[in-house]
Structure 1
Amino acid sequence: MKESLFVVDFISGRLNQILFAGWQHFSLVAQCLILATVLAVAISVLVYRNKKMVSVANSVSAVGLTIPSFALIGLLVAPFGFGVVPAVIVVAFYATLPILRNAVVGLSGISPAVVEAARGIGMSRFRTLLRVELPMAWPVILTGVRVSAQMVMGVAAITAYALGPGLGGFIFSGLSRLGGANSFESVVTGVVGVVILAVILDLLLVGLGRLTTPRGIRV
């Protein structure tokens, strides 16, 4: 009970700072998700018709996810220094991987008969991709975006190790002085804030899916 009161006091005394850090965290994740989605869809469009390239893309996605985020951040500090740049690179990298896998699966899973029917009524290859294939693959792609969003919300917190923006600063600050004044409250504030942001972002993506998924293929 006392600990809960201490957390409330900690938050109320630093509310503006916490809200600003939360906005930075959310903005970092959202912008990197947009960048990752564009990159993943572009790559998948280039490779999904080639089985060997699909296999390579899937392998890269699988291997990339095994790289520890701390190790990648540490490697990027040397060439890019501390701050926003390594944070953006790390978050965008991890965000791209699940989206790429789902985009390749979504585009590869479209029936050739549907594509042939579109081509048969005079659509060009580019128009078929834009008007038929991508809309049909979008629900699968969006699932990858939602998975990425949940994953990189935590990765964004870890980038505070390299002085990246966001709520991770509260977590690392508390852990660095564990047992000291307000250390527990700082960690709880950062962790709970990240969880709340993850829930908010997922709800926004669910709403985006309802707005952008064609009615004919909506589940």
Structure 2
Amino acid sequence: MESLMNFFNSNGNDLLMKTWEHLYISIAALILGIIVAIPLGILLARLPKIAGFVMGVAGVIQTFPSLAILAFFIPLLGIGKIPAIFALFLYSVLPILRNTYTGVKGVDEKLLEAGRGMGMTSLERIFNVEIPLAIPVIMAGVRLSSVYLIGWATLASFIGGGGLGDFIFDGLNLFQTDLVIAGAVPVTILALITDFLLGRLEYRSTPKGIRKQNEMA
């Protein structure tokens, strides 16, 4: 206990800074993933002929080693947070894209026909029918992606991106267990908190009718 207090006394400010950097990198990559993947998933639901190809490409990118993706961006963007964010963004796309596509494709065609009968435009059907009904599936992809990103963001340390990975890899290189724990434990806590908060957001954004159906199931 005393050694733990000594560690926080000497590294407390640094730990807070690294935690903020880690969260910043993860959130920035997740936001980029949401901006790209959700509209693309909605579009692919209308273009089934190319949906399989695009999903396949996203799936292949997902299999690339994380360090290889990070190294790929170094000649293009240098080192630091920017290449780390873009590398993590690539990893965030597939879960969100796949769930958005699945959720939108799963919307009952009769509801869409009812929307057309009411005079809704295509955009109105997307925002008033498709997205509200698909939101539980979409948010499940966002939650999965966020947890992945918080874990993978530790690798940003390799290209000077900062974050809690600095503590983990410094601890491994110096054989100091306290540094490894100081990096690993906050990463785990961040992942759990983020998943919980997004879970609450998913619940709040799900239409009440769907909520009741899920609770009764």
Residues 62 and 90, structure 2, Cα contact 8 Å, conserved in 1: no
Equivalent residue runs for 1:45-60 within 5 Å: 45-60=42-57
Q: Runs of 5+ in structure 2 lacking a partner?
A: none
Equivalent residue runs for 1:52-201 within 5 Å: 52-178=49-175, 183-201=176-194
- Give the Cα–Cα distance (whole angstroms) in 2 for the partners of residues 122 and 101 of structure 1: 29
- Give the Cα–Cα distance (whole angstroms) in 2 for the partners of residues 27 and 133 of structure 1: 31
Q: CA deviation at 1:8?
A: 4.3
Residues 11 and 189, structure 1, Cα contact 8 Å, conserved in 2: no
Matched, 1:216 2:203: no
Residues 115 and 132, structure 1, Cα contact 8 Å, conserved in 2: yes
The amino acid of 2:34's aligned partner reads: T
Q: Percent identity?
A: 36
Residues 57 and 100, structure 1, Cα contact 8 Å, conserved in 2: no
Matched, 1:16 2:13: yes
Instruction: Select between 56-65 and 73-82 the one with higher mean Cα deviation.
Output: 56-65
Give the TM-score normalised by structure 2.
Answer: 0.92
Give the TM-score normalised by structure 1.
Answer: 0.92
The amino acid of 2:153's aligned partner reads: A
Q: Any idea what the Cα deviations from partners look like across 1:140-176, whole Å, max 9, x if unmatched?
A: 0100001101111111111111011211111111122
Q: CA deviation at 1:5?
A: 4.8
Q: CA RMSD in A?
A: 1.4
Say which SS state the counterpart of residue 65 (structure 1) adopts: helix
Say which SS state the counterpart of residue 71 (structure 1) adopts: helix
Q: Runs of 5+ in structure 1 lacking a partner?
A: none
Q: Number of aligned pairs?
A: 212
Divergent runs of 4+, >2 A: 4-9
Q: CA deviation at 1:132?
A: 0.3
- Give the Cα–Cα distance (whole angstroms) in 2 for the partners of residues 172 and 137 of structure 1: 40
Q: CA deviation at 1:50?
A: 1.9
Pick from 181, 194, 199: which aligns with 1:206?
Answer: 199
Residues 167 and 194, structure 1, Cα contact 8 Å, conserved in 2: yes
Equivalent residue runs for 1:36-51 within 5 Å: 36-51=33-48
